[in-house]
Structure 1
Amino acid sequence: MIGHEKNITKHQTRYLHGLDGLRALAVIAIIIYHLNPKWLSGGFLGVDTFFIISGYLITSLLIHEYKHTGSINLMQFWKKRIKRLLPAVLFLISIVLIYTLMFEPNIIKNVKQDAIAALFYVSNWWYIFHDVSYFDSFKIMPLKHLWSLAIEEQFYIFWPISLLILLRIKKLKQHFLLIIFVCSLISLLTMFLITQPNVDNSRVYFGTDTRLQTLLLGVLLAYIWPPFRLKAQIHLPLKIVIESFGFISIALLIFFIMTVSSNDNWFYFGGIYFISLCTLPAIASAVHPSTFLAKVLSNRIFSWIGQRSYSLYLWHYPVITFMNKHFVQGQIPVYIIVIEIILTLILAECSYRYVEVPIRVQGFKYFLPKKSALKPLIIRSCFALILVSCSTVILLGHYDALQHEDKKEVKTTFTVTDNEPPHKSLILPVPKIIINNPQSAHQKVDYKDVPLFIGDSVMVDIGEELHKNYPNSLIDGKVGRHLYDAIPLVHDKYPYFKQQNQQVVLELGTNGDFSYEDLTKLINLFGNAKVYVVNTHVPRDWEESVNEKLAKAADAHKNVQLIDWYSTSQSHSDYFAYDGVHLEHQGVQALVSEINKHMKH
Structure 2
Amino acid sequence: MPVPERPAPAGSLSDSSPRARLAGLDGLRALAVAAVVIYHVDPGWLPGGYLGVDVFFGISGFLITHLLVTEHREHGRIALAGFWRRRAVRLLPELPLVLVACAVTARLTARGGSGLGDGLRGDTLASLAFVNNWWQVHRGADYFHHLGVPPLLQHLWSLSVEEQFYLLWPLVLAVLLPLACGRHRARVTTCLAGLAACGAVASLWRMRTLGGRPSGVSRAYFGTDSHSGALLAGCAAALLVPALTRLARHRPGLGPPLAHIALAVLAAFAATGPGDRVMYGWGFAAVTAATTALCAGSAAWTSPRLLEAAPLRLVGRHSYGLYLWHWPVIVTTTALWPAQGVLERTVELLAPLPLAVLGQLVVQRPLATALGRRDGRRASPASVPAQPVRLLSARNAVLVVLPVAAAALGAVALSPSTVPNAMQRQLQAAARNEAGLTAGAGRPHAPSAPSSAGAAAGSGLSPHSAAGVVDGSDVTVIGDSVTLGSAPDLHRILPGISLNAEVGRMMQSAPDLCRQLLAEHRLRGTIVLALGTNANFAPEDLDHVRATIGARRLVLTTVRGPFPWQDSVNSVVRAYHRHHPDVLLDDWYTVSGSHQDLLWTDHIHPRGGAGTTLFATSLVATLTASPP
TM-score relative to the length of structure 1:
0.78
Q: Is the 8 A contact 1:453 1:474 kept in 2?
A: yes
How far apart are the structure 2 equivalents of 1:571 and 1:255?
41
SS at match of 1:506: strand
What amino acid maps onto 2:91 in structure 1?
L
Distance 1:156 1:10, change over 3 A: farther
Among 351, 354, 358, the alignment partner of 2:362 is: 354
Compared with structure 1, are the counterparts of its residues 555 and 238 closer, same or farther at alpha carbon in structure 2 (3 Å cutoff)?
Answer: farther
AA of the residue aligned to 1:243: P
The offset of 1:28, in angstroms, is 0.7
Partner SS state of residue 247, structure 1:
helix
Q: 1:146 and 1:258, CA in 2 relative to 1: closer, same or farther beyond 3 A? A: same
Give the one of 295, 298, 322 matched to 2:332: 322
Which residue is 1:97 aligned to?
103
Letter in 1 for 2:290: C
Give the counterpart of 1:532 among 555, 580, 585.
555
Matched residue SS, 1:41: coil
**Is the alpha carbon distance of 1:307 and 1:212 closer, same or farther for their aligned partners in structure 2, counting shifts above 3 Å?**
same
Which residue does 1:128 correspond to in 2?
Answer: 137
Q: What are the equivalent positions in structure 2 for 1:410-449 lying under 5 Å apart?
A: 410-412=429-431, 422=442, 424=444, 426=446
Deviations 1:284-343 (A, max 9, x none): 34445655x1x3212222122111000000111111222222233xx4222122223343
- Residue matched to 2:224: 208
Mapped contact 2:486–2:615 kept (Cα < 8 A): no
1:496–1:47: structure 2 CA closer, same or farther, 3 Å change rule?
Answer: closer
Taking the aligned partners of 1:42 and 1:454, their CA distance within structure 2 comes to: 32
Aligned ranges 1:127-526 → 2 under 5 Å: 127-137=136-146, 138-169=148-179, 172-199=188-215, 201-225=217-241, 238-239=252-253, 241-261=254-274, 263-287=275-299, 290-291=302-303, 293=304, 295-328=305-338, 331-363=339-371, 389=406, 391-392=408-409, 395=412, 410-412=429-431, 422=442, 424=444, 426=446, 451-456=474-479, 457-463=481-487, 471=494, 474-480=497-503, 481=505, 482-483=509-510, 484-495=512-523, 497=525, 503-512=526-535, 519-520=542-543, 522-524=545-547, 526=549
SS in 2 for 1:454: strand
Alpha-carbon distance between aligned partners in 1 of 2:108 and 2:606, rounded to the nearest angstrom: 29
Distance in structure 1 (CA, Å) of the matches to 2:273 and 2:173: 33
State which drifts further: 407-416 or 522-531: 407-416
- 1:434 aligns with none
- What is the Cα deviation at residue 383 of structure 1? 13
From 32, 49, 67, the counterpart of 1:26 = 32
* Aligned-partner residue type, residue 489 of structure 1: L
**Equivalent pair of 1:197/1:265 in contact (CA under 8 Å):** no
**Aligned 8 A contact 2:96 2:404 in 1:** no
* 1:357-386 CA-partner distances (Å, limit 9, x unpaired): 3433542789xxxxxxxxxxxxxx999978
Pairwise CA distance, 1:172 = 4.8
Q: 1:79 to 1:324 in 2, by over 3 A?
A: same
TM-score normalised by structure 2 residue count? 0.75
1:453-494 per-residue CA deviation (whole Å, 9 max, x = no partner) reads 4122333345566567x6566251423354233432344354
Secondary structure (helix, strand or coil) at the match of 1:280 reads: helix
- Alignment partner, residue 63 of structure 1: 69
Decide whether aligned partners of structure 1 residues 38 and 174 sit closer, same or farther in structure 2, where only a CA change above 3 A counts.
Answer: closer
SS in 2 for 1:210: coil
- Kept in 2: contact 1:533–1:563 (CA 8 A): yes
1:82 to 82, 88, 104: 88
The 1:190–1:122 alpha-carbon spacing in structure 2 relative to 1, beyond 3 Å, is same
Letter in 2 for 1:412: A
In 1, the alpha carbon distance for the partners of 2:441 and 2:402 equals 60
* 1:50 alignment counterpart: 56
Structure 2: which amino acid aligns with 1:194?
L
1:441 aligns to what?
none
In structure 2, relative to structure 1, the CA distance for the partners of 1:494 and 1:128 (3 Å cut) is closer
Matched to 2:343, the amino acid is Y
The one-letter code of the counterpart of 2:153 is L
Q: 1:26 deviation in Å?
A: 0.7
Question: Matches of 1:356 and 1:68 in 2, distance apart?
Answer: 29
Answer yes or no: is 1:581 the counterpart of 2:604: yes
Deviates more, 1:173-182 or 1:586-595: 586-595
CA distance in 2, matches of 1:16, 1:113: 38
Quickly say closer, same or farther: Cα 1:460–1:121, change in 2 above 3 A. Answer: closer
| Aligned counterpart, 1:444 | none
- Say whether the 8 Å CA contact 2:482–2:606 is kept in structure 1: yes
| Range that drifts further, 21-30 or 333-342 | 333-342
Q: Between Structure 1 and Structure 2, how many residues are aligned? A: 554
Q: Deviations over 1:102-157 (max 9, x none)?
A: 44387768322222221221111122222222223433421211111111111111
Secondary structure at the aligned position of 1:476 is classed as strand
Q: Is the 8 A contact 1:414 1:459 kept in 2?
A: no
Identical pairs, percent: 28
- Larger RCO, structure (CA 8 Å, separation 6 or more): 2
Going from structure 1 to structure 2, the CA distance change for 1:111 and 1:514 (only over 3 Å counts) comes to same
Q: Cα–Cα, structure 1 residues 490 and 552, in superposed 2: closer, same or farther, change >3 Å?
A: farther
- Decide which moves more: 518-527 or 568-577: 568-577
- Using the alignment, how far apart are the partners of 2:166 and 2:417 within structure 1? 37
| Deviation of 1:56 (Å) | 0.7
Structure 1 residue 83, shift from structure 2 partner: 1.4
- What is the alpha-carbon distance in structure 1 between the residues aligned to residue 445 and residue 300 of structure 2? 62
Q: Is the contact made by 2:220 and 2:227 (CA closer than 8 Å) also made in structure 1?
A: yes
Structure 1 counterpart SS, 2:340: coil
Answer whether contact 2:591 2:618 (CA < 8 A) is retained.
no
The question of whether the paired residues in 2 share the 8 Å contact of 1:505 and 1:531 is answered with yes
Evaluate the alpha carbon distance shift between residue 9 and residue 496 of structure 1 in structure 2; reply closer, same or farther with a 3 A threshold.
Answer: closer
Distance in structure 1 (CA, Å) of the matches to 2:126 and 2:557: 41
CA distance in 1, matches of 2:246, 2:361: 32
- Shift of residue 427, structure 1, vs aligned partner: 7.6
Alpha-carbon contact 1:23-1:309 (below 8 Å) kept? yes
In the superposition, relative to structure 1, how do residues 383 and 180 fare at CA in structure 2: closer, same or farther (>3 Å)?
Answer: closer
Whether the 8 Å CA contact 1:55–1:217 is kept in 2: the answer is yes
Matched residue type, 1:256: F
CA–CA distance in structure 1, aligned partners of residues 564 and 216 of structure 2: 14
Aligned to 2:2: 2
* C-alpha distance in 1 between matches for 2:550 and 2:74: 75
Contact 2:55 2:287 in 1 (8 A): no
For 1:319 and 1:496, how far apart are their aligned partners in 2?
A: 46
For structure 1, which segment, 302-311 or 511-520, has the greater mean C-alpha deviation from structure 2 after superposition?
511-520
**Stretch of structure 1 that moved more, 534-543 or 306-315:** 534-543
Measure the CA separation in 2 of the matches of 1:100 and 1:256.
35
